[in-house]
Amino acid sequence: MTIAADLLAWYRESRRELPWRRTRDPYAIWVSEIMLQQTRVAVVVPYWERWMQRFPTAAALAAAPLDEVLSAWSGLGYYRRARDLHRGAREVVARYGGRLPDTAAALRELPGIGRYTAGAIASIAFGRREPLVDGNVARVLARLFAIDEDIKAPATQRRLWHIAGELVPADAPGDFNQALMELGATVCVPGAPRCGDCPVAAACAARAAGRAAELPVVPARRADADKPLLAQAAAWVVRRGRLLLARRHPEGLFGGLWELPRAPDAAGLVRMFAGPGARLELAGGPPILRHRQVLSHRRLVIDVHVGRLVGRPAAAAAGPYDRIAWHGLDSLDSLGLAAASRAILTKLRENDGWTQSSERSRSSRRATRRSSRA
């Protein structure tokens, strides 16, 4: 039997039962492929099911406001994927009457759909003979063909795509592509591949040479301690059960997401809100919380300061923000919140920080009034 035949037979017998594998709806498959990028399958399943209930068609997604879309995505990270899905759905409605195009070339013209995603949708939903290469597939192919070069290098990527294109059969290309991904996710795993369970072990050049665990060749990851540090200050401003939040510009970093207003330092926060009839007063003492987070390219430290807003924040919709507004503390879970701000909210909830911060804010106001009377 060929590699393709062996893989297909194994996949049809051993594949995991995942909800998006029970449909050939191109839109549903598109959503699953975007969600699965850089996210574990176990995390994606409930998100995908809730998403499909909330936005069952491209037209439903296109009609939804961005805030609602980002709220449904909240927790998956990499929010650009959600914004691209939203923009893509609007293009699908405008250009194709709500139905995704059925060729990889046309799919690649939609926002957020690259070569891999186009190949996945075209092969799985439309039965097109299109290859795909993601991290799992690259690992499988590097071992099958004993490829010694860095799999992320452009020349190696071209070689992997060429091999994938040669392997994908005209019959059941979607199942074959899913079989490659499934093999990499469950058997041909990083570090210690389970070669005894592999349906194509007899054809594997790396296994024959005793090198399966050595491959693929990948560049060393940058140590967290070597990443640059970004230190910022955030304002925690509560008034009558509502929290002041700022929304980032749609096209910038974390575009369209709400967060605690942030600046390089506490003085920057005060300047952000300075304007005719408006000012931000920060409570004295240390910040109520220090949040640390490691991102893909940097480390983030945010000191959260309790504040009180006097007047209207006319100048707040500036810099990285396009809007500032009050939001009820009991409705924050329905917002599209940046990950750092959501983590801060969770920490404050857990240690009753909301109550403590309110007490500190009231103490600060009393001290301000005493000072002004003196």
Strand segments (E) across 171-273: 229-239, 242-248, 258-259, 262-263
Q: Residues 290, 304: contact at Cβ < 8 Å?
A: yes
State the catalytic residue, choosing from 13, 33, 49, 359: 33
Residues in the chain: 374
Angle, vertex CA 32, rays to CA 29 and CA 33, nearest 5: 85
- The separation between CA 205 and the C-alpha centre of its own chain, rounded to angstroms, equals 35
Residue 212, both tokens: 């399966």
Nearest to 253 by CA among 69, 80, 72: 80
Residue 229, both tokens: 């540090």
Q: Is the peptide bond before 216 cis (omega within 30 degrees of 0)?
A: yes
Decide the pairing of beta strands 242-248 and 258-259: antiparallel
Cα–Cα distance measured from residue 234 to residue 269, given in angstroms and rounded to the nearest whole number: 7
- The separation between CA 76 and the C-alpha centre of its own chain, rounded to angstroms, equals 5
Distances from the Cα of 94 to the Cα of 31, 100, 112, 231, 258, angstroms: 18, 11, 17, 43, 28
Nearest to 277 by CA among 313, 308, 307: 313
Nearest to 96 by CA among 65, 57, 127, 131: 57
Q: Residues 244, 270: contact at Cβ < 8 Å?
A: no
Residue 39, both tokens: 């996210």
Nearest to 215 by CA among 206, 224, 223: 206
Residue 285, both tokens: 């003492």
Q: Residues 52, 80: contact at Cβ < 8 Å?
A: no
Beta bridge partners of 245: 325
Catalytic annotation on 182? Answer: no
**Catalytic positions:** 33
